Amino acid sequence: MSELPEVEILVRHLDPVLRGKRVRAVSVLRPRVIRPNSAAKLQASLRGAKFTAVRRRGKYLVFELSRSRNQPVQLLGHLGMTGRFFVSRKDQPTPKHTSLFFDLGPERLVFEDTRYFGRLTLDLTPLAKLGPEPLGEEFTSAALAENLKRSRQPIKTKLLDQAVVAGVGNIYASEALFRAGIAPSLPARKLKQRQIVRLVRSIRRVLTEAVRCGSTIPLNVTGPAQADRLFYFGQASGTSAFYEERLRVYDRANQPCGHCGAPIRRIVQAARSTFFCPRCQRA
DNA sequence: CACCATGTTCCTTG
DNA sequence: CCAAGGAACATGGT
């Protein structure tokens, strides 16, 4: 969960379901998720507001609502590592690690998050710090080159910087570098122009394929609210294998590279796992 | 018990 | 001031 493609798919499901629904109340079970705003402030701002749209920016969900007299409110959501949003009937029990839920009348919008790294806030300043959308036209090789040219950081680490490109996480950073044939340890400023061009294309391709693949996965509705519209995906037994088959290097340490047969290696960079083919991605 | 995990922010160090 | 590294956040799986 929770790199750009997963958030994109979630947003596509949530948008038509939430549009027009009114927030009757907000129940905050874990006040820390609302940092830095207080729970009381969020409840006061959202009570009675109506969802008008749900969109995505980087890995953030942006909930747009309208209060009385058409006053717009925006709410920023981040899934962290394990966060999930889903809609279920009010008579269904909420899961164990529910951070918060919105009372929508007969239904609820539930924010479940096992590790509680996720966030929900009225503070929109995180959006201002994000770099270009990788699938938008502002993400060009010239823009990427500008961001890489002064950095000695390994390119893999640099791709995780949301100010460089918004939405790439640990899985797709490894995948994009594999497809571009670039060693993850290469210092960012050492990339040649043609490598940067290839990297931009690889990032776009990897993310686009993931969104397309996720869109075709039947939603996994196992769980406490089986009959309801739950937005789990890529998580359950059946769908997961299919979903992860597309990943060519991530979590494949010691398995043969699909291109050359050399064993995939796992290294640690900036305290995160990186997977790559030492033969297809030479330093 | 040890180590690992899809993310971000804050603190320290150079 | 900036870049880079590491801890912290919290819980569960292997």
The bases of strand C with some atom under 7 A from any protein CB are 3-7, 9-12
The bases of strand B with some atom under 7 A from any protein CB are 4-9
Number of CB atoms found within 10 A of residue A71's CB: 10
Indicate the angle between helix axes A141-148 and A193-216, nearest 10 degrees.
120
> Which pTM value belongs to this model?
0.92
The C1' atom of C6 and the CA atom of A271 lie apart, in whole Å, by 8
Please tell me the predicted confidence (pLDDT) of residue A243. Answer: 54
Cis peptide before A106 (omega within 30 of 0): no
State the Cα–Cα distance between residues A212 and A192, nearest whole angstrom: 30
State the Cα–Cα distance between residues A98 and A92, nearest whole angstrom: 13
Q: Name every residue whose Cβ is closer than 8 Å to that of residue A161 and which is 6 or more positions away in sequence.
A: A131
Average of per-residue pLDDT across A118-131: 93
Q: Is the CB of A249 under 7 A from strand B?
A: no
Quickly state the pLDDT bin for A234 (edges 50, 70, 90): very low
State the Cα–Cα distance between residues A274 and A261, nearest whole angstrom: 18
The C1' atom of B5 and the CA atom of A160 lie apart, in whole Å, by 16
Number of CB atoms found within 10 A of residue A124's CB: 13
Residue pLDDT, tens place only, A247-256: 999 999 999 9
Q: What values do phi and psi take at A12, rounded to 5?
A: -65, -35
